[in-house]
Amino acid sequence: MKSGGLVQSRLDRVVKLIAANMVAEVCSIYAMRAGEVLELYATEGLRPEAVHSTRLRLGEGLVGQIALTAEPLALSDAQQHANFAYRPETGEELYHSFCGVPIQLGARVLGVLVVQNRTQRSYGEEEIETLETVAMVLAELLGSGEVITLEEGRSVEGSALLPVRIGGLVLNEGMAMGRAVLHQWGIVINQVVAEDPEAEIARLDEAVGDMRRAVDRMLARMDKNLDDEQGEVMESYRMFAHDRGWLERIRDVINSGLTAEAAVERIKNDTHQRMMKVRDPYIRERLADLEDLAYRLLQHLSGTEGSSRNLPDETILIARTLGPAELLDYDRKRLRAVVLEEGSKTAHVAIVARALGLPTIGRCEGALSRIRAGDSVIVDGQNGQVFARPNQGIKQTFKASLALQEKRKAEMAAVRNLPAVSQDSVTVELLMNAGLLIDLPHLDECGATGIGLYRTEIPFMVRDAFPGVEDQQALYSKVFEQTGSRPVTFRTLDVGGDKPLPYLTMEKEENPAMGWRALRMTLDRPVMLRLQLQALIRAAKGRELRIMFPMVTDISEFDKARGMVERELAREIARGTAAPSAIKLGAMLEVPALLWQLDKLLPSIDFLSIGSNDLFQFVFAADRGNPSLTRRFDSLSPPMLRLLSDLTAQANAANVPVTLCGEMAGHPLEALALIGCGIRRLSMSAGSIAPVKQTVRALNVAEVTDLVQHLAGLRTRSVRGVLRAYALDRGIPF
């Protein structure tokens, strides 16, 4: 604990400095210890004897709540708060106001920083931001491991039986509780260190023999049906099973004192690390084979080979990564949520999980090794965190949130059939985003007036080959059938980049989001677009057909696409297909370059749809899937509000309707701001329609417009706090 002492004195100085700078009587730092316990580590103002003695569980008290939700909390009278937990040894009964922020490194909460004052005062947004900045610096200190990993030689993760919290990226919102099922061959290694390396090597050799025989049997069964290429792949698999270098490396690790399982795991992780760096798809596949073999070897070592998929009733599926088909393979009725070690919002599995309504968290580091099969698990898809083996405090907080969620659901159901009209009689059109046939029944349930974005790429991504015109036509016909008389806007294929098609050879790209994707790709491979347009025209069967093109960057791209629609329409009419009653063509505004071509573009389009997910990432140069950037820039900020207001004003002047169909539309506070920017059509996932409708019905559009226009001119990083306070004051739900 030598360096620990040094850190302690630094923390003691920090709390003094903050207290002085913020004119606070108390400043305290709580650090997360083994077992998800927050321990008072340093304080100015509370009694010194409470240091290293006062402890709160995650979810317990205000400090526990901040760590649990990873959200700041400011209260003018903390003692009145339902979650206030009094600790007499601290002497904190003297202090009324309280402001705390999480100390976070990436998604991981390492502790909580708190200031307190005697008087009942409110802390301003700037003060909270100052505390958050200090917390960022503290995170580096706490994250260095000197403070929180040295307790009695035990790491924070500690023994496998302690509760564990893993932060991640929300891929689909929602909350769930259930039992962990580890996807594939998740094997828990209970013992890492071994005393007798020779015995471990003997166990390894025996398991390797078993595994080789099993692989040979498996290949013999398959050999008859293999073509040349598959045969080659399988042969390399067999070769790896007999690879000396691989086994030697495992033996070396055993000789350094690990159990056979831990050694295989270690080499497997090395392979995984290497795999992540390799670009060449061929070598990547080979390394994936080796990883797969390591899993098999672990099964043989632990005697769990061939275990069947007996899912518990409430399954929380834990996986490194999953293909969409693999997810669909599981019994939906038993699945409650999905937790992935990898994954991004645009990953195929995330899209399918959304369609299935499964709360999903990605980028949960080490989930497979830290969660054991059968563990009780809570998935908090509001705050992007997963708890394994949660303690009573966490369970209770979670149950309270779940009850609140149920109550809100009931309230939402009540607004389903009410119009989305504001207090001053402005109608806002609320549309639904969809991308799979299983989404469509939600259209009736959620009360949307139509589909503002139908993402056509998903069926293309889950197939083995490009679907022909008939297949596509059948699919689009079903969409038309189920939407009835409500409008539906189809977006042409937005594949490429990070949404590869398995049957299309694509170059590996440095920056896939800015690469060969969407309209760029379909204009270069016009047959793909032509087939899709034919299928859409045929499926419309005389109805109105709305089509929009993604990632339009240059006006000539839109003109080319329009030319193709016109040619396909003429061809279809010539072959006797009934023409749609009208064809409306729109451009998606996702690339900033289009903003300075609007005067030319607007006269040629029937509507404009803002893809705020992509637009935001390009405007702020901030990768939409990068968790380290999620809190840095805010869509509720002057540049974004000005951009959207100017753009909408131009479109209104040209009589071109504007829809916004990115994630922003589905968050009530963001929706309020968008309405203030002049946008009157919002398209969002089904679950967001009712909450956004509640917001619309409670607000006064004229007043919100004035406010948003004022905020758009401010010199501040984010206007979220002001909008939140405004909504709270007016009783507008968000």
Question: Is residue 69 near ligand PEP by the rule CB under 6 A?
Answer: no
Near ligand PEP by CB under 6 A: residue from 368, 661, 704, 719: 661
CA-based angle 67:636:634, to the nearest 5?
55
CB 337 within 8 A of CB 316: yes
Q: Which is nearer to Mg ion, 289 or 614 (CB)?
A: 614
Q: How far is the CB of 613 from ligand PEP (least distance, A)?
A: 3
Instruction: Please identify which of the residues 96, 183, 300, 348 carries the catalytic annotation.
Output: 348
CA-based angle 193:195:196, to the nearest 5?
120
Of 489, 582, 577, the C-alpha closest to 538 is 577
CB 384 within 8 A of CB 337: no
* Tokens (6 digits) for 719: 């206007």
Instruction: Assess whether 99 carries a catalytic annotation.
Output: no
Which entry of ligand PEP, Mg ion, none binds 455, CB below 5 to 8 A by partner kind?
ligand PEP
Q: Which is nearer to ligand PEP, 138 or 585 (CB)?
A: 585
Q: How far is the CB of 432 from ligand PEP (least distance, A)?
A: 13
CB 353 within 8 A of CB 172: yes
Instruction: Assess whether 96 carries a catalytic annotation.
Output: no
Question: Is residue 456 near ligand PEP by the rule CB under 6 A?
Answer: no
Which entry of Mg ion, ligand PEP, none binds 385, CB below 5 to 8 A by partner kind?
none
Contacts (CB under 6 A) with ligand PEP, residues 492-511:
494
Q: How far is the CB of 496 from ligand PEP (least distance, A)?
A: 11
Question: Is residue 614 near ligand PEP by the rule CB under 6 A?
Answer: yes
The span from the CA of 54 to the CA of 50, in Å, is 5
Q: Which stretch binds ligand PEP (CB under 6 A): 233-241, 264-272, 606-614, 668-676?
A: 606-614
Q: What is the DSSP letter of 677?
A: T
Instruction: Please identify which of the residues 99, 364, 446, 661 carries the catalytic annotation.
Output: 661
Q: How far is the CB of 119 from ligand PEP (least distance, A)?
A: 46
Residues 6+ apart with CB under 8 A from 44: 15, 16, 18, 19, 26, 27, 28
CB 615 within 8 A of CB 666: no
Q: How far is the CB of 701 from ligand PEP (least distance, A)?
A: 24
Question: Is residue 662 near ligand PEP by the rule CB under 6 A?
Answer: yes
Which entry of Mg ion, ligand PEP, none binds 612, CB below 5 to 8 A by partner kind?
ligand PEP
The span from the CA of 190 to the CA of 369, in Å, is 10
* Tokens (6 digits) for 690: 């009712």
Question: By the criterion CB under 5 A, which residues form the site for Mg ion?
Answer: 590, 611, 614
Q: Positive or negative CA dihedral for 560, 562, 563, 565?
A: positive
- Tell me the site size for ligand PEP, rule CB under 6 A: 10
Q: Which is nearer to Mg ion, 594 or 711 (CB)?
A: 594
Residues 6+ apart with CB under 8 A from 602: 608, 650, 651, 654, 656
Q: How far is the CB of 497 from Mg ion (least distance, A)?
A: 10
Q: Which is nearer to ligand PEP, 263 or 589 (CB)?
A: 589
Question: Is residue 590 near ligand PEP by the rule CB under 6 A?
Answer: yes
The span from the CA of 380 to the CA of 402, in Å, is 10
Question: Is residue 688 near ligand PEP by the rule CB under 6 A?
Answer: no
Task: Tell me which amino acid residue 514 is.
Answer: M
Question: Is residue 681 near ligand PEP by the rule CB under 6 A?
Answer: no
The span from the CA of 645 to the CA of 653, in Å, is 12
Which entry of ligand PEP, Mg ion, none binds 661, CB below 5 to 8 A by partner kind?
ligand PEP
Radius of gyration of the chain (CA): 28
H-helix or E-strand spanning residue 55: strand 55-57
Near ligand PEP by CB under 6 A: residue from 116, 299, 612, 645: 612
Q: Which is nearer to Mg ion, 568 or 614 (CB)?
A: 614
Q: How far is the CB of 679 from ligand PEP (least distance, A)?
A: 13
Q: How far is the CB of 614 from Mg ion (least distance, A)?
A: 4
User: Is 683 strand, coil or helix?
Assistant: strand
Concatenate the DSSP letters of all residues of 480-512 into one string. Answer: HHHHTTS-EEEEP---BTTB--TTS-----SSG
Question: Is residue 472 near ligand PEP by the rule CB under 6 A?
Answer: no
Question: Is residue 455 near ligand PEP by the rule CB under 6 A?
Answer: yes
Q: Which stretch binds ligand PEP (CB under 6 A): 36-44, 81-89, 605-613, 645-653?
A: 605-613
Query: 3-state DSSP: the chain helix, strand, coil percent, rounded to 5?
Result: 50, 15, 35
- Please list the active-site residues: 348, 661
**Binding stretches for ligand PEP (CB under 6 A):** 453, 455, 494, 590, 611-614, 661-662
